[in-house]
């Protein structure tokens, strides 16, 4: 990927929809199988030829994020940009914080969330963006039934956020209107859409906005400027993205001349097939498009998504981390010859699985220990977790040391002090924070 592109990874989010896991670990560092979450977008950028990236992190977490690059065998150089998260800054606020790090020499900026797991070819998205002369291109993916995550264990709650509404031109994929799922309740009232195109429009609530955007640098600088009409907008997806999409149809905006268009073609002529630049009837430098990816594309921003991707990672690992040097059964893990570990399980570095233990369709995190006579089924154990001898762990997410024999079914455990010897727990969330709700 050429030097006229710069990447920004947004990793300062507190994970408000997965607070059971983020009380002591930033969301971007939560393990997916055995790899920190931020590893996946960084690897995606590296695979596309990017040699450096700016990662926005919560203040105080810079060193932990920097270690990820070394520990996970990445070669991409990371510039950690800390932000104060005490005021709960939005994604747009994070971008304003690092806008001075955007080089004037680049033409486009890749904005990617640290919770994105995908096997998309980033160069293909960039080629599409340039071939359409876009101000913005958003990565989307259809939400089919087999990609809807199963409910996470623990206390059952109803989903609180609706699906995004994305309206596009049926033939071209040009965005006409977007409404974030959190901005409406039972229904959404659509405005009268501009009659700019004779093509039919598609309105969908079944497209995932992957939170990967390629934005023209000039567009990004304009909307993030101190005197911009967007200066009070905190969310890029929910506020600034709809503004950029709506601006396409502003009759007062400036247009790009044919001469400027020819210069643009000349500038990018060496990076994509020249004929692709003529895919639009007329050039529009304000155009916004969706790039639809039908492969793996998951936002790990809820407990259900976190649970689901961990359970599926054994089959997705080669797709979302191609060329990774980390095998699913790490060579430093010690698995007793009399232990049984199924082929669809993951055991991390430095972990120990003792004799007469059965691990089936589960993830055992890095540096964890599973004592003897233990049965673990369809569960996820976090890093540095110890499970006592004789425990039965079924369909559970455990990120704490379980030091007494017990049975856990469909539970989330982050505070093992709530577990008593010999008891059975079903559909419970055992965490310290619930006492102070």
Contact residues for 198 (Cβ-Cβ < 8 A; gap 6+): none
Quick one: pLDDT at residue 261? 41
CA distance 191 to 174: 17
Quick one: pLDDT at residue 328? 87
- Tokens in use for 348? 């991390």
Q: What is the pTM of this model?
A: 0.87
Picking from 167, 163, 166, 168, the residue whose alpha carbon sits closest to that of residue 148 is: 163
Quick one: pLDDT at residue 273? 36
Quick one: pLDDT at residue 333? 96
What DSSP state is assigned to residue 238? I
- Going from the C-alpha of 353 to that of each of 175, 372, 394, 419, the distances in angstroms are 51, 8, 17, 22
* Paired sense of beta strands 407-409 and 392-394, if any: parallel
pLDDT in tens, the chain (437 residues): 555 899 999 999 887 778 778 877 889 999 998 899 999 999 999 999 999 999 999 998 888 888 888 888 889 999 999 998 877 788 999 999 999 999 999 999 999 999 999 999 999 999 999 988 899 999 999 986 445 667 788 876 655 567 888 989 888 899 988 888 765 666 766 665 555 556 788 888 888 999 999 999 999 999 999 999 999 999 999 999 999 998 887 766 554 444 444 454 444 433 333 333 344 444 456 889 999 999 999 999 888 899 999 989 999 998 999 888 778 899 999 999 999 999 999 999 999 999 999 999 999 999 999 999 999 999 999 999 999 999 999 999 999 999 999 999 999 999 988 899 999 999 999 986 544 33
CA distance 93 to 88: 9
Q: Is 226 exposed, middle or buried (0-12, 13-18, 19+ CB in 10 A)?
A: exposed
Helices H / strands E in the chain, number of each: 8, 30
Q: At what angle do helices 91-98 and 217-224 cross, to 10 degrees?
A: 110
Taken in order of first residue, the domains within the chain and their CATH numbers are: 5-319 (3.90.550.10), 328-436 (2.160.10.10)
Quick one: pLDDT at residue 66? 85
Contact residues for 296 (Cβ-Cβ < 8 A; gap 6+): 117, 118, 119, 316, 319, 320
CA distance 314 to 312: 6
Contacts by residues 325-328 (CB-CB < 8 Å, ≥ 24 positions apart): 325/73, 326/34, 326/35, 326/72, 326/73, 328/33
Quick one: pLDDT at residue 135? 92
Q: Is 289 exposed, middle or buried (0-12, 13-18, 19+ CB in 10 A)?
A: buried
Quick one: pLDDT at residue 254? 52
Quick one: pLDDT at residue 326? 78
């Amino acid at each position: 990927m050429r030097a006229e592109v710069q990447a920004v990874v947004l990793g300062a989010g507190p994970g408000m929809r997965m607070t059971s896991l983020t009380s002591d670990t930033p969301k971007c560092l939560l393990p997916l199988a055995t790899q920190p979450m931020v590893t996946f977008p960084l690897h995606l950028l590296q695979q596309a030829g990017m040699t450096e990236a700016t990662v926005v992190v919560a203040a105080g977490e810079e060193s932990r994020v920097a270690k990820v690059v070394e520990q996970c065998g990445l070669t991409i150089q990371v510039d950690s940009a800390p932000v104060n998260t005490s005021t709960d800054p939005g994604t747009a606020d994070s971008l304003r914080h690092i806008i001075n790090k955007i080089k004037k020499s680049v033409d486009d900026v890749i904005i990617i969330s640290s919770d994105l797991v995908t096997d998309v070819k980033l160069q293909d998205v960039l080629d599409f963006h340039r071939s359409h002369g876009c101000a913005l291109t958003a990565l989307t993916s259809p939400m089919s039934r087999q990609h809807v995550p199963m409910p996470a264990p623990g206390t059952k709650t109803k989903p609180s956020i609706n699906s995004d509404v994305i309206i596009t031109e049926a033939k071209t994929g040009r965005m006409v209107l977007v409404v974030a799922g959190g901005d409406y309740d039972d229904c959404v009232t659509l405005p009268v859409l501009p009659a700019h195109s004779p093509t039919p429009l598609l309105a969908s609530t079944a497209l995932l906005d992957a939170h990967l955007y390629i934005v023209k640098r000039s567009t990004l600088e304009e909307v993030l400027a101190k005197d911009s009409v967007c200066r009070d907008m905190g969310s890029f997806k929910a506020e600034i993205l709809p503004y950029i999409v709506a601006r396409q149809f502003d009759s007062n905006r400036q247009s790009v001349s044919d001469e400027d268009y020819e210069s643009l073609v000349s500038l990018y002529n060496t990076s994509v097939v020249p004929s692709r630049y003529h895919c639009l009837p007329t050039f529009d430098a304000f155009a916004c498009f969706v790039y639809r990816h039908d492969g793996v594309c998951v936002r790990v921003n809820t407990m259900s998504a976190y649970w689901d991707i961990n359970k599926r990672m054994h089959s997705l690992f080669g797709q979302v981390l191609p060329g990774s040097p980390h095998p699913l059964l790490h060579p430093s893990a010690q698995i007793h010859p009399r232990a049984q570990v199924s082929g669809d399980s993951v055991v991390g570095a430095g972990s120990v699985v003792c004799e007469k233990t059965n691990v089936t369709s589960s993830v055992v995190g890095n540096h964890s220990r599973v004592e003897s006579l233990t049965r673990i089924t369809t569960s996820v154990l976090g890093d540095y977790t110890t499970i006592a001898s004789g425990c039965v762990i079924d369909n559970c997410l455990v990120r704490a040391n379980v030091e007494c024999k017990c049975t856990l079914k469909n539970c989330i455990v982050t505070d093992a002090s709530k577990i008593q010897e010999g008891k059975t727990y079903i559909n419970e969330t055992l965490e310290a924070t619930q006492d102070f709700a």
